[in-house]
């Protein structure tokens, strides 16, 4: 003890401080251990954790609205939601929808919004086809005025401005970013076009749309910008710019390439830009305020909408409200899933306990035979076992036939035992029973039979001996089995699907439906997140009450 | 006119020059996606095997994933690795894939073979091209079958759709598909709504309630199915008296398995099934698929397919070529949903309407089911 009071650290044999050399040795060990589990760790991260995290992220993610119609979202920010939005919003929608339609992304947005409001899917699909026509009016007018407006090179030169002039780099990179957001891709390279700063300032809409056109032509179509005639939105942009008196005045003094052409257009009478009427004439649904409300409500990048939907609520203009009674379903399904999982867990305990007791108390040879009987169904395909229950339980099935033959039920009064809760509970209890028996068995095996004998010899009745001595020692096995069975059954899918009918299905069946049929992955992710949270909460509660350390999965 | 001719000549030259070059770049394997079962078998025999015989160095792999095609294609697209070359889907799924940008838009006249009499493909398929991405193959229908030996004594066998809703005359269980599509239309029709007004009525909340109320009258007697194979099984077991399913499934239960089942064609709901090509395939794979597609959807091949399964070929020009069943030797035409005797009263399903309303109605339908 006196050594430690002396100054200086304890040294190892080679002279280095003991602490350091110990740490070094331990670090080497830890690294080796880590390297050993690294393959598993990486596998679990890549194949399990990452996809789940990605899927859960979808339950709140909602970038599609802002990415597809960014300018409209911007314009809608100040809209009060009382009356139809003004012309500004419809103009933004035109440019957004035109660009989205070129990239064929508008229908995707339609499908997304249709989850919230029926009818938006076809509204976007149909309007995507007609936005060309809205812009064509201006293209025709300008080309009638001067055929040079139909020439690709003329446009290219005009929008590039003077060769030596300053370029509007910001504008161009913004438009590339707009395309990247829309197409969810990233582009590298130079589209070989730079809008001139002077013309971009004078004709902001035209320059913006032409830059977007150039980015799309170069990156998506992989064509040469200078050889392609601009699309209709550019003409509409020019017509819009020319409506301003200041712009017309500026054009009169402009002397860059295409100045004469622009002057000619500025002096001419172009059709008025009235996108609001164009949209509403094309499809009167654009005059429905509630559609605009939905667009505004779902324009932020993240939404609580999916989660609200998953608990039978919805966003309305007055705030969050319960859904109509005839549309509520998920609350019921969550409750039913909980209830049925509990029933299945208790049925498994009731059926499994005596078997596990038998297994652990029979002589080894008989116990092995019994074990095989427990494991055989465990090794049989899940689908086969479920289908076998179908054969057993249906109205013309084995059980009903036997009952009718014995005269217990009348031929017309055959029991309905399948396509309902009863069928699901029976089939799932059977399927999950081994998960209950095995942990129970492994715990019961460790309880010495002499304890029971001792209790009896001290005067306990067989029941008291069991209840006071044996049962408490077997509780960890019950706990482990119950957790296994409950958590497995809460997420069960295939058995309820086959034998559950309409009253015996679980929440997981709806999740599967939204993943594979309705494609509402956001809602499926929200339902899945809630289910995961419920399981974690139950696990936590169980840990508080029973203590997870008392659970034994193996001897 | 002169310009037009020059253009044509140039195009012809380019095509002639380009053709051999393209054929060299074709991939030598294809992954075809279909439904499995008898239907996939009919495709295999009618055009995949003949095509592989013509191109011995090509191989074709089947993936039986059509039921989840939309979800899987979306997942593949997000992962950036589409492994499918040609996907068999129902028309409504083709529209959704097209909407999502997951299927390629097709110029039908350019890609598909013309009819033997020179009619362009788009005219030969006509209205059945319900989406720019969709290449129709067959017309099928969802219709009812019933157990002939369970018809009550002294009563005519059921022959009209409304017999399904008539529990007094025809007591017994019914099998219906667990989704609102078709069931809502049939219910409203039997509640007295004229065929042309069905979708107008269904567009209102009252109309939906009315359809569900009509379905309520038989709800206790309904077994709901999700896979097309379930109804023939339920009928064969005597679990249900009548049930809806795809007409080809009923045909094989009746003609191939000799089950005591009768067909009811009244108000059969027509639907289409066909190919889509996934978007953005690599050039060599695309070239191979297009080559196969042209062959597999020509007039003769579609007619050949009808020798294996009782679905109507989607080309008008194929109809007269439909012959006998390949193994049973029975005349196939009377078993086709498109046969005039069977198609006297049909339900034309409104794709657009359902594309808009399926999310909403499905919520209501599921909520109704669980009540």
Give the gap in angstroms from C-alpha B68 to the nearest C-alpha of chain A.
6
Structural domain total, chain A: 3
Characterize the bridge pairing of strands B59-63 and B312-313: unpaired
In terms of domains, do A152 and A286 share one? yes
Round the average pLDDT of chain B to a whole number and report it.
89
CATH number at residue A505: 1.10.3720.10
**Per-residue pLDDT reduced to its tens digit, B101-150:** 899 999 999 999 999 999 999 999 999 999 999 999 999 999 999 999 99
Helix (H, G, I), strand (E, B) or coil at B245: strand
Which of A247, A276, A295 is the C-terminal boundary of a domain? Answer: A295
* Domain assignment present for A13: no
* Domain assignment present for A7: no
Asked if residue A215 lies in contact with residue A102, where contact means CB atoms within 8 angstroms, the answer is no
Give the closest residue to B177 by CA, choosing from B271, B275, B91. Answer: B271
pLDDT for the residue numbered B10: 43
Percent of chain A whose pLDDT exceeds 90: 71
In terms of domains, do A45 and A86 share one? no
pLDDT for the residue numbered B84: 96
* Domain assignment present for A222: yes
Q: Which of B99, B239, B360 sits opposite A118 (nearest CB)?
A: B360
* Domain assignment present for A64: no
Which of A295, A312, A347 is the C-terminal boundary of a domain? Answer: A295
Partners of residue A122 in chain B, C-beta under 8 Å: 352, 355-356
Asked if residue A314 lies in contact with residue A308, where contact means CB atoms within 8 angstroms, the answer is yes
Using the predicted structure, report yes or no on whether residue B23 has a pLDDT greater than 70. no
Nearest CA in chain A to B171: A412
In terms of domains, do A353 and A254 share one? no
Sign of the CA dihedral with A443 first, then A449, A453, and A454 last: negative
In terms of domains, do A336 and A264 share one? no
Q: How far is it, in rounded angstroms, from Cα B170 to Cα B151?
A: 7
In terms of domains, do A141 and A49 share one? no
Q: B236 and chain A: CB distance < 8 Å anywhere?
A: no
In terms of domains, do A420 and A490 share one? yes
Tell me which residues of chain A, numbers 1 to 30, contact chain B at a CB-CB cutoff of 8 Å.
Answer: none
In terms of domains, do A75 and A114 share one? yes
Using the predicted structure, report yes or no on whether residue B16 has a pLDDT greater than 70. no
Give the closest residue to B357 by CA, choosing from B189, B180, B139. Answer: B180
CA B88 from centroid of its chain's CA atoms? 9
Confidence of residue A554 (pLDDT cuts 50, 70, 90): low
Give the closest residue to A199 by CA, choosing from A234, A164, A166, A240. Answer: A166
A292, two tokens: 């605009």
In terms of domains, do A88 and A34 share one? no
Burial class (CB in 10 A: 0-12, 13-18, 19+), A340: buried
Partners of residue A515 in chain B, C-beta under 8 Å: 71
- Beta bridge pairs of residue B176: B224
Give the gap in angstroms from C-alpha B187 to the nearest C-alpha of chain A.
18
* Contact check, Cβ <8 Å, A108/B101: yes
* Domain assignment present for A305: no
**Per-residue pLDDT reduced to its tens digit, B48-78:** 999 999 999 999 999 999 988 999 998 898 8
Q: A115 and chain B: CB distance < 8 Å anywhere?
A: yes
Confidence of residue B289 (pLDDT cuts 50, 70, 90): very high
In terms of domains, do A364 and A492 share one? yes
Domains of chain B (ranges; CATH) run 21-133+277-321 (3.40.190.10), 142-271+351-370 (3.40.190.10)
* Domain assignment present for A310: no
Nearest CA in chain A to B105: A104
Q: How far is it, in rounded angstroms, from Cα B75 to Cα B70?
A: 9
Q: Domain limits at A99?
A: 70-295
In terms of domains, do A525 and A411 share one? yes
pLDDT for the residue numbered A192: 86
In terms of domains, do A74 and A210 share one? yes
Mean pLDDT of all residues in A383-400: 92
* Domain assignment present for A41: yes
Nearest CA in chain B to A515: B71
* Contact check, Cβ <8 Å, A122/B355: yes
Partners of residue A394 in chain B, C-beta under 8 Å: 237, 239
Nearest CA in chain B to A329: B367
Using the predicted structure, report yes or no on whether residue A352 has a pLDDT greater than 90. yes
Give the closest residue to B69 by CA, choosing from B4, B134, B149. Answer: B134
Which segment, A409-413, B37-41, B163-167, B337-341, is predicted with the most confidence on average?
A: B163-167
Q: How far is it, in rounded angstroms, from Cα A287 to Cα A264?
A: 36
Residue to substitute from B65, B356, B358, B361, interface A, most A β-carbons within 10 A: B356
Using the predicted structure, report yes or no on whether residue A68 has a pLDDT greater than 90. yes
Phi and psi at residue A407, in whole multiples of 5°? 80, 15
CA A130 from centroid of its chain's CA atoms? 32
When comparing pLDDT for A83 and B9, which is higher?
A83
Using the predicted structure, report yes or no on whether residue A4 has a pLDDT greater than 60. no
Mean pLDDT of all residues in A195-212: 93
In terms of domains, do A400 and A531 share one? yes
* Domain assignment present for A225: yes
């Amino acid at each position: 003890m006196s050594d430690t009071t002396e100054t200086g650290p304890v040294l190892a044999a080679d002279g280095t401080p003991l602490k350091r050399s110990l740490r070094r040795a331990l670090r080497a060990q830890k690294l080796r251990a880590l390297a050993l589990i690294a393959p598993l760790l990486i596998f679990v991260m890549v194949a399990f954790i990452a996809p789940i995290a990605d899927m859960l992220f979808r339950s709140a993610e909602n970038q599609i609205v802002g990415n597809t119609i960014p300018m409209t979202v911007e314009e809608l920010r100040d809209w009060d939601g009382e009356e139809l939005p003004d012309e500004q919003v419809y103009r933004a929608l035109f440019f957004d929808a035109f660009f989205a339609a070129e990239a064929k992304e508008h229908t995707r947005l339609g499908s997304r919004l249709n989850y919230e409001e029926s009818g938006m899917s076809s509204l976007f699909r149909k309007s995507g086809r007609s936005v060309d026509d809205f812009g064509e009016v201006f293209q025709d007018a300008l080309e009638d005025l001067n055929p040079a407006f139909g020439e690709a090179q003329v446009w290219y030169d005009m929008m590039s401005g003077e060769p030596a002039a300053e370029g509007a780099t910001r504008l161009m990179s913004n438009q590339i970013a707009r395309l990247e957001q829309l197409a969810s891709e990233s582009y590298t390279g130079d589209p070989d076009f730079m809008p001139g700063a002077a013309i971009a300032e004078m004709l902001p809409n035209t320059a913006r749309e032409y830059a977007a056109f150039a980015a799309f032509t170069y990156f998506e179509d992989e064509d040469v910008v200078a050889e392609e005639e601009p699309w209709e939105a550019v003409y509409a942009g020019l017509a819009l710019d020319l409506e301003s008196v200041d712009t017309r005045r500026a054009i009169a003094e402009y002397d860059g390439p295409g100045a004469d052409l622009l002057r000619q257009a500025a002096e001419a009478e172009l059709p008025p830009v009235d996108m609001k009427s164009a949209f509403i004439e094309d499809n009167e649904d654009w005059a429905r305020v509630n559609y605009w409300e939905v667009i505004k409500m779902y324009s932020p990048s993240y939404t609580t909408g999916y989660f609200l939907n998953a608990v039978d609520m919805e966003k309305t203009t007055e705030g969050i409200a319960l859904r109509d009674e005839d549309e509520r379903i998920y609350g019921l399904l969550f409750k039913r899933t909980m209830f049925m999982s509990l029933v299945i867990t208790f049925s498994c305990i009731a059926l499994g306990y005596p078997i596990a007791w038998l297994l652990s108390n029979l002589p080894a040879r008989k116990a092995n035979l019994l074990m095989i009987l427990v494991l055989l169904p465990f090794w049989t395909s899940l689908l086969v076992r479920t289908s076998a229950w179908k054969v057993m339980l249906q109205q013309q099935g084995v059980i009903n036939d036997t009952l009718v033959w014995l005269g217990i039920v009348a031929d017309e009064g055959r029991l309905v035992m399948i396509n309902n809760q009863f069928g699901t509970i029976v089939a799932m209890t059977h399927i999950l029973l081994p998960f209950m028996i095995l942990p129970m068995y492994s715990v019961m095996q460790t309880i010495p039979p002499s304890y029971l004998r001792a209790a009896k010899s001290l005067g306990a009745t067989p029941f008291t001996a069991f209840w006071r001595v044996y049962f408490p020692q077997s509780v960890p096995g019950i706990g482990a089995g119950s957790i296994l069975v409950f958590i497995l059954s809460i997420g069960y899918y295939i058995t309820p699907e086959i034998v559950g009918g309409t009253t015996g299905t679980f929440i997981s069946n709806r999740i599967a439906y939204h993943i594979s049929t309705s494609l509402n992955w956001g809602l499926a992710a929200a339902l899945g997140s809630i289910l995961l949270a419920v399981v974690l909460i139950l696990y936590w509660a169980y840990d508080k009450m029973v203590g997870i350390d008392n659970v034994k999965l193996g001897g | 006119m002169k310009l037009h001719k020059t253009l044509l000549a140039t195009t012809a030259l380019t095509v002639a020059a380009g053709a051999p070059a393209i054929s060299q770049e074709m991939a030598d394997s294809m992954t075809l996606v279909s439904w499995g079962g008898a239907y996939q078998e009919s495709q295999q025999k009618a055009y995949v095997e003949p095509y592989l015989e013509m191109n011995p160095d090509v191989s074709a792999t089947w993936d039986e994933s059509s039921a989840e095609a939309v979800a899987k294609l979306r997942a593949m697209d997000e992962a950036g690795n589409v492994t499918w070359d040609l996907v068999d889907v129902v028309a409504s799924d083709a529209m959704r894939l097209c909407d999502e940008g997951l299927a390629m838009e097709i110029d039908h006249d350019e890609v598909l073979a013309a009819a033997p009499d020179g009619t362009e493909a788009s005219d030969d398929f006509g209205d059945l091209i319900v989406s720019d991405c969709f290449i129709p193959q067959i017309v099928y229908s969802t219709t009812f079958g019933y157990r002939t030996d369970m018809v009550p004594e002294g009563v005519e066998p059921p022959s009209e759709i409304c017999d399904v809703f008539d529990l007094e005359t025809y007591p017994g269980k019914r099998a219906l598909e667990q989704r609102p599509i078709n069931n809502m239309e049939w219910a409203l029709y039997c509640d007295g709504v004229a065929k042309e007004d069905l979708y107008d009525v269904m567009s209102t909340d009252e109309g939906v309630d009315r359809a569900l109320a009509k379905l309520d009258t038989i709800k206790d007697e309904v077994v709901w199915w999700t896979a097309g194979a379930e109804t023939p099984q339920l009928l064969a077991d005597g679990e249900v008296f009548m049930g809806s399913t795809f007409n080809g499934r009923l045909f094989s239960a009746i003609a191939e398995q000799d089950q005591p089942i009768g067909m009811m064609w009244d108000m059969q709901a027509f639907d289409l099934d066909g190919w889509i090509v996934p978007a953005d395939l690599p050039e060599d794979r695309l070239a191979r698929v297009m080559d196969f597609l042209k062959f597999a959807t020509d007039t003769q091949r579609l007619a050949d397919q009808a020798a294996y399964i009782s679905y109507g070929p989607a080309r008008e020009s194929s109809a007269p070529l439909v012959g006998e069943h390949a193994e049973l030797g029975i005349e196939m035409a009377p078993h086709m949903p498109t046969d005039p005797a069977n198609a006297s009263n049909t339900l034309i399903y409104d794709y657009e309407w359902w594309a808009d309303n399926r999310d909403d109605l499905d919520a209501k339908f599921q909520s109704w089911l669980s009540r």
